[in-house]
């Protein structure tokens, strides 16, 4: 899960058209960083994006999240308006696990990234949903 930092304040200050351009820029940064067959990046809602990376470790997903985060940070001269926070969750499919658990873990990690100061990536562990560094 990827969320634009302070996006509401940006929209309120510069208007929705400017905010839309920021979202397009973030989407391009994500698209440029996710290129394997089977990878899927999508707008999840509002200023939030989801990236699905099948058959990849949490450590490698973290590296991709950091690549995205740094591309977004460098995308504009105004870095305060173009940073993202990332929450990463990884699971090996099993009978007891399902998508809502994965999304909840990624969302929890995303909130930890926001609470930790934004403009960072945090990895969650499953199934306990506890955070790991």
Instruction: Give the residues across from 124 on adjacent strands.
Output: 89, 131
The closest of 54, 63, 58, 57 to 36, measured between CA atoms, is 54
**Dihedral angle over CA of 78, 113, 62, 84, nearest 10:** -20
Q: Please name the residue ranges forming H helices in the chain.
A: 7-14, 16-33, 58-75, 99-115
Q: Please tell me which residue in 3, 5, 47, 107 is annotated as part of the active site.
A: 47
Q: CA-CA distance, 39 to 33, in Å (whole number)? A: 10
Question: Catalytic: 47?
Answer: yes
Would you name the residues annotated as active-site residues? 47
């Amino acid at each position: 899960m990827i969320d634009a930092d302070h996006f509401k304040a940006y929209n309120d200050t510069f208007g929705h058209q400017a905010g839309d351009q920021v979202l397009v820029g973030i989407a391009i940064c994500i698209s440029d960083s996710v290129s394997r067959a089977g990878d899927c990046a999508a707008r999840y809602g509002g200023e939030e994006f989801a990236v699905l990376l099948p058959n990849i470790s949490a450590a490698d997903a973290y590296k991709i999240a950091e690549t995205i985060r740094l591309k977004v940070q460098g995308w504009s001269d105004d870095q305060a308006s173009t940073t993202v926070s990332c929450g990463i969750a990884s699971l090996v499919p099993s009978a007891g696990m399902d998508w809502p658990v994965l999304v909840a873990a990624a969302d929890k990690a995303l909130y930890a990234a926001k609470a930790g100061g934004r403009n960072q990536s945090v990895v969650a562990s499953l199934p306990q949903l506890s955070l790991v560094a």
